[in-house]
Amino acid sequence: MSEPLLRLGGLGKSFGTNLVFSGVDLDVMPGDRIAILGASGSGKSTLLRCINALETPDEGLVKINGTPLLKADGKGRLRSTERDLCALRQRVGMVFQQFNLFPHMTVAGNVAEGLVTVRGMSSGKALERAQAELERVGLGDKGDAYPSRLSGGQKQRVAIARALAMDPEILLFDEPTSALDPALVGEVLGVIEQLANEGRTMILVTHEIGFAYHVATRVVFVAEHGIYETGTPEEVLKHPARPLTQQFLADHQRFQF
Ligand SMILES: Nc1ncnc2c1ncn2[C@@H]1O[C@H](COP(=O)(O)OP(=O)(O)OP(=O)(O)O)[C@@H](O)[C@H]1O
Ligand SMILES: [Mg+2]
């Protein structure tokens, strides 16, 4: 079997006395699409944020293609060089629930920003690339607009274009549709599905269980400070083996018809 693209080894994080998770091990192979589900407060966002060092884990490591780019010392400090953390952040792209676009920059400026500041690309080249990424998410005509003029679904597609512009090897999505009006959810899920069909590797925190069922290659359910149950979508979502997974799914399916 080939090397995992991403390996989490013994990852742990507390906030003060609040243990969020410990001992999280996860291997992500190229082309895997991992859906992470769990109750509010179970640590899904914190886990994603630890993967690209937006949050400092207390213990454990994050390896990309076998190279440990993030290592915690067990005391809440990192034993990683700035260079490794920078490489990690470039190789792992993130899309947030609240889009996190710069309001004072145009849409194209938002997408080009990282290419100029992190990659050192000329602004002309970066804007060219930004345009191509905007076209990919169906917003080729919005480059000159400001984010405040866009719908939530359009803003989230800009955020996806911004992540893609950096050529990440892995994409992390943290509830990318939960801040959206129901009518706008579909256009964002459509873009994520298109990326899935291209074979991109992704980890997706979502409450859209139907989407997870159709798009994920593996489902991870988090509870009790770690990975509580994992398996194929069929296993975890249709035939959950453990009580908290069963309860979570029953709660989420209560009002379906
Ligand atoms: N910056 C922080 N400082 C202190 N505690 C935090 C911080 N971020 C998260 N927490 C705590 O860590 C725990 C996990 O939070 P997290 O946001 O990761 O949960 P989540 O599973 O993403 O929840 P949701 O589904 O509501 O987004 C919670 O108890 C939360 O209060
Ligand atoms: Mg969250």
pLDDT digit string (tens) for 72-96?
988 778 888 899 999 999 999 999 9
| Residue ranges making up the domain that contains 114 | 6-252
**Size of the chain in residues:** 257
Q: Is residue 257 part of a domain?
A: no
Start-to-end C-alpha separation, the chain: 42
pLDDT score of 75: 79
Domain count, the chain: 1
CATH number at residue 187: 3.40.50.300
Taking CB atoms and a 6 Å cutoff, what residues make up the pocket around ligand 1? 15, 18, 20, 38, 40-46
Q: Angle, nearest 10°, between helix axes 123-136 and 107-117?
A: 130
Q: Is residue 129 part of a domain?
A: yes
Q: Is residue 1 part of a domain?
A: no
Q: Is residue 113 part of a domain?
A: yes
Bridge-partner residues for 95, per DSSP?
Answer: 173
Say whether pLDDT at 253 is over 90.
no
User: How many angstroms is it from 223 CA to the middle of ligand 2?
Assistant: 13
User: How many angstroms is it from 15 CA to the middle of ligand 2?
Assistant: 15
Q: Is residue 31 part of a domain?
A: yes
pLDDT score of 1: 62
Q: Is residue 215 part of a domain?
A: yes
Q: Is residue 134 part of a domain?
A: yes
Nearest CA to ligand 1 atom 3: 15
pTM greater than 0.85? yes
CA distance linking residue 200 with residue 193, whole number of Å:
10
